[in-house]
Each structure stands twice: as structure tokens, then as C-alpha cells.
Amino acid sequence: MVSPRGPPRARPKDMATPGPLLPPYGVVVGVLLRLVVYLVAVLYSYAEQLFLKKDDNKIKKQDTPAVCDLHCCKDVPVRNGLIGQKSPSINPERLKDFGEEDYLNGDVKTWEMKIVSRNEELLREALSCIPQPSSRASLASCNKLIRFEDISAAAFKIQCGVQKTPCMYSRLSKQYGMEIYLKKEFLQYTGSVKERGVLYLLMSLPQEQQRKGVIVASDSNFSMAVAHHAAELGVPVFVIVPSTTAPARVRTCRDYGAMVLSYGATAKDAQLHARRLAQENGYLYLEEEDSAVYLSGLGTVGLEMYEQVPKLDAVIFPAGGHCGLLAGSAAALKHLNPQISVIGVESESFPVLQQSLKAGHPTDDQACNNHHFYGDVSGVCFGSNSLQLTGKLVDKVVAVREEDILIAMLRLLEYERATVDAEGAIGLAALVAGKLPELRGKRVAVVICSGNLELHLLQQCIARALTLDNRVCRFSLVISDCPGDMSKLLEILAREEVRVLDIKQERTFVTSELFTVQVICTVETRDKIHTAQLRNALLERYPTTAWTER
């Protein structure tokens, strides 16, 4: 019987039976081999990086000295930019054991400050230097000279914290036959150029050290700059001064915001006491040195002068033992224009810089018997970095007398209405003394770096300078003790237009004739020519007139 669906359909001839579902064996083996090779390469790279990190850590541990070796050594001061062993926080009760209680007024406060940015890589070499215990300099112990980029970085960071002081044309130019421009750094808030280096130094400290605080031990311009800028940055600051410090200096440091402690009779006693406090309380002991950070801050003076006065021929700086300003500014000026002559000036009484340059290393055998007058200029040479920069970049170093410095102070007071100290006037003293005749007719800039002169010294300096400038003179003569003779003498003085400052009469201890009186008179004249005219007029009327030589 035939099916109603009809005969079965024939299968198409082109349809083949399905093969196996897995890929060929050779393809699988190739993929697996590639995967194994890739995993081996990844594991090898990871292992290599791991071993390299371990080797770097071993090298760092070998090169880095122990923390206690840097900060717990009793014979070596704690240095800038390095953090020591973690110590207890500031404790006023502990400070009472070390300082006089009369100076511990009020509680000690601490501040916390967050540093937003890290130090520029331009100064990384300077900050990473490890101090040697046997060396006087700390950060400066690595003999790496600062670069112009370091000074530019310092100028950018401190521009909001210090004044950009004017560099103005001076009326003294006509008197000395050259164009004189005065860089008035004494107009800084603390009256000193040291603010520039101090501010950059404090801003470069790590955050942890800024929280703990800093301590200094002197009554110098450096200490006052630290007191002011540390307080402005919120860093606890302590100033240790000897008992012989002027009360005005102590009051000034306190007004800036520092805690001032009086200890010992000498500066050395105060320094030892400050180092002990730093070790006990974790403060950072700061002292003026020639680290790259500090010199870069001071070098911003040269950068500003080059911008303010075009076509400079020469720049005169104070020198002496603390020649950081000279060295740092010379680095900036010589980079911008190698043709500018950089000249340093120091005192003939202690030519520390000249002797150090001659010896090839810092010397500290020069003693100063008049520290209160000379200030920071009278210090010993404090580092090899400044000396190396000075020998390489400074064209000339001259020495001046104390009399020349006093006359320069008088000139600045009269012509510029500027009250400066010996450190501020020593640069101009080289022009007053005629030590630089090659600068006549040229454009010269002089740095007036400091104006912190104590009042009792100001009076003595002015009186002495007037005498040295032949404007205050004293003479003695013998006249008869009769009515009218004194008036005749006064008539001569009035005719010569001199100002009588003092007049004395001696009748008892007179070796001349009886009924005579010896008159000792102190007068003020206009200048040396006026003094000579007065002398001739008196000798004509009183041949026995005797002049007191200065």
C-alpha cells in the first residue's frame, strides 16, 4: 500500500555530515605556549623591580647617618633642614629649669602649619647635604655652589614676605664724581638684609620641625630676623641672649613674637644653653651659616639691583667674616652680566676675608674688641661655600679704617636722612676713603644693608664723626681777666660765623701771669676750609692759641 504522503524525498547530495566541535590539537598547544611565555615574562619583570627596590633601600640605609648622630651630639649644634629624634612637645615648666623665671612671662603656645608644596628640585642638592660632625658649617659642608636658578626660586618664594627695597640715585654722586645708587636694605621690617635668607630658610624647613619650633642664641640682626619671620609663619621661636644684651634688643625680639631668655654673661654661654634646650625639647638650633638655602635668599639682593639700575658698572657690598650677602649676590650678578665688578669692603681692624682668601680656607683667629659698633661684620668666617664663591666671583676686596666708616655714617645721615650702623655704612666708606679711584665717572651701586644702631652709640658716632670731618674743633687761649676781654673773643667767633658748643674758664690752675684766665672753647664749623679760616683769625689776635688735635 502506498503512503498518502508519497515516496520519501531523496537527501541532497551537497550536505555533509557534521565534524568534531573542538579546534585542532596544534592550535590549542600554540595558544597555551604563548600564555606560558607571557606569564613568565610578567613574573620576571615583577621580581626584577622588587630586587631593585631592596637594593636601593640598602644603599639609603648605608648612606644616611643615624638620626641621633645628627641631633643628639652634644659637641655639635643641631643644623638647619634636618629633623631629629621625636621629642616631647614644648613644656614651659621644663624651660624654667634652664632660664631665668623673670623672662618667662605668659604661656608658651604651639602652632601647626600645613605646607602645601614641596621644596623646588633646584634646591634639592642643598637640602640633602649631610653635615659632618667635625666641620663648623652644616648644610654648607657639601661644597656645591649655588646656581642662578636657586636664587630665582628664592626670589619667587619670599616675594610676599620681604620688601623690595628701592635702589635710588644719591646726592652724594656729585661729591665723589660718580653715579651712586643706594640699595636701601635697612628699610626692611627688622632693619636688616638678613630677612631674605632667614625667611627662605624657615620656609624650607619640614612641616614637623616647623611645628616643634626653632631656637637662636645671639642678639644679632640674624636673631631678630628669625624672631620676626618665625612668628609670622606660626613657628614657635626662642631667643637666648647673654645678660649683657641691650634692653632695647630684648624688647624688640619680644615685640616680634619670640620668647626671650637671658642666660650667661657671654655669647658662648648663651649658645651652649640654647643647644641644650634644643636637644631637650626638640627645637631646631639655628645659626647664621653659608648653606645654599640661606645664600640663595641673600642673593636676591643682586637680582633686584640688576633689575632696578640698568647698565651697572660696579656693585659694592659689605664683607668681613659674614660674607654671605657678598657671595650670594655675586652669583646672581655675574650670571646676568659678567662685566659688572663686584667689590667687598671690610674693616682694617680685622681683615678676616682677605686673610681667609690668602690662606685658602676660613680663618677665625681675628678678634674684634668693638663688637657693639661693628655688629655682624666683626664675626669670624663661617664657611667654605661663601669663601669659595667670593674667591671665584668677587673682583676686589678692600679694607677701610674706623674713621672712614664714621664719616660714611655721617654722610648718609646728612644727605640721605638714613640712620645706619657700621655694617650698613662700610660699603660707602670705601668711596669716602678714596679706595676705589677706578670707579670715577662710572655707575656704582652700594648696598646699605643694616640700620640697627643703638641710641647711645648713635650719639657717640655722630660726635666723633663731626670731629674727624674737621667740623667740631677745640682750642684754648689765655686772656686777661678784665671786663670786656671775653666779649672781644666772642666777637671774633661771631664774625667768623661759628657755632659755640661749649666754653670753659680756668682761673685757679693757670701757669701763666697773674690775673689771667684760660679759656677752653669747643665750636662747630661748616667744613675744613672754614676751620682753617677761624684758626688764622684767632692766631692773628691771640698768638698763643693752642688747638687740640683730634
Which residues, in sequence order, are bridge partners of residue 477?
519
pLDDT at position 537, please? 94
Exposed / middle / buried, residue 53 (Cβ in 10 Å: 0-12, 13-18, 19+): exposed
Residue 141, φ and ψ in degrees, nearest 5: -70, -25
- Band (pLDDT 50/70/90 cuts) for residue 511 is confident
pLDDT at position 376, please? 66
Euclidean distance between CA atoms 274 and 219, whole angstroms: 13
Euclidean distance between CA atoms 213 and 89, whole angstroms: 10
- Band (pLDDT 50/70/90 cuts) for residue 411 is very high
Q: How many CB atoms neighbour CB 412 within 10 A?
A: 24
pLDDT at position 536 over 70: yes
pLDDT at position 362, please? 82
Name the more confident of 80 and 44: 44
* pLDDT > 90 fraction of the chain, expressed in percent and rounded: 56
Euclidean distance between CA atoms 399 and 381, whole angstroms: 16
Separation of first and last alpha carbons in the chain: 162
- Kindly report which listed range (166-180, 218-232, 365-379, 469-483) carries the lowest average pLDDT score: 365-379
342: three-class secondary structure by DSSP: strand
Euclidean distance between CA atoms 77 and 216, whole angstroms: 11
Residue 222's nearest CA partner among 291, 277, 307, 311 is 291
- Kindly report which listed range (38-47, 167-176, 268-277, 318-327) carries the lowest average pLDDT score: 38-47
pLDDT at position 479 over 60: yes
Most confident of 7-16, 60-69, 159-168, 346-355: 159-168
pLDDT at position 242, please? 93
pLDDT at position 13, please? 47
- Band (pLDDT 50/70/90 cuts) for residue 364 is low
pLDDT at position 102, please? 38
Q: Which grid coordinates belong to 451? A: 640700620
- Band (pLDDT 50/70/90 cuts) for residue 218 is confident
Q: How many CB atoms neighbour CB 467 within 10 A?
A: 17
Kindly report the CA angle at 253 between 197 and 408, in degrees rounded to 5? 65
Residue 222's nearest CA partner among 154, 141, 304, 289 is 289
pLDDT at position 326, please? 94
528: three-class secondary structure by DSSP: helix
pLDDT at position 96 over 60: no
Exposed / middle / buried, residue 428 (Cβ in 10 Å: 0-12, 13-18, 19+): buried
pLDDT at position 118 over 80: no
Chain-centroid distance of CA 39 in Å reads: 61
pLDDT at position 7 over 70: no
pLDDT at position 69, please? 38
Residue 237's nearest CA partner among 221, 226, 225 is 226
Euclidean distance between CA atoms 199 and 113, whole angstroms: 15
Residue 163's nearest CA partner among 183, 134, 185, 133 is 185
Contacts by 68-72, CB closer than 8 A, 24 or more apart: 69/133, 70/130, 70/131, 71/279, 72/279
Euclidean distance between CA atoms 362 and 380, whole angstroms: 8
Name the more confident of 1 and 119: 1
* pLDDT > 70 fraction of the chain, expressed in percent and rounded: 73
- Band (pLDDT 50/70/90 cuts) for residue 507 is confident
- Rounded to an integer, the average pLDDT of 83-92 is 36
> Percent helix, strand and coil across the chain, each rounded to 5?
45, 15, 40
Cα separation values, 296 from 132, 216, 299, 300, 316, Å: 22, 21, 5, 7, 18
- Complete DSSP assignment for 256-285: HT-EEEE--SSHHHHHHHHHHHHHHH-PEE
pLDDT at position 213 over 80: yes
CB distance 406 to 464 below 8 Å: yes
pLDDT at position 152 over 90: yes
Q: Which grid coordinates belong to 22? A: 573542538
CB distance 295 to 354 below 8 Å: no
Residue 451's nearest CA partner among 224, 150, 258 is 224
Euclidean distance between CA atoms 526 and 109, whole angstroms: 56
Name the more confident of 86 and 260: 260
Contacts by 115-123, CB closer than 8 A, 24 or more apart: 115/206, 115/207, 115/210, 119/204, 120/153, 122/147, 122/149, 122/150, 122/152, 122/153, 123/150, 123/153, 123/204, 123/292, 123/293, 123/296
Q: Does the predicted TM-score (pTM) go above 0.85?
A: no
Cα separation values, 124 from 81, 118, 153, 265, 428, Å: 11, 10, 12, 40, 37
pLDDT digits (tens, 9 = 90+) for 11-59: 544 444 445 555 676 777 777 777 776 777 767 667 666 655 555 554 4
Q: Give the H/E segment covering residue 547.
A: strand 546-547
Cα separation values, 85 from 60, 67, 132, 201, 212, Å: 18, 6, 18, 21, 11
pLDDT digits (tens, 9 = 90+) for 311-343: 999 999 999 777 899 999 999 999 999 999 999
- Kindly report which listed range (122-126, 233-237, 289-293, 358-362) carries the lowest average pLDDT score: 122-126
Euclidean distance between CA atoms 400 and 175, whole angstroms: 19
Crossing angle (nearest 10°) for helices 352-359 and 384-393 = 80
Q: For all residues of the chain together, what is the average pLDDT?
A: 80
pLDDT digits (tens, 9 = 90+) for 49-73: 665 555 555 444 444 433 333 333 3
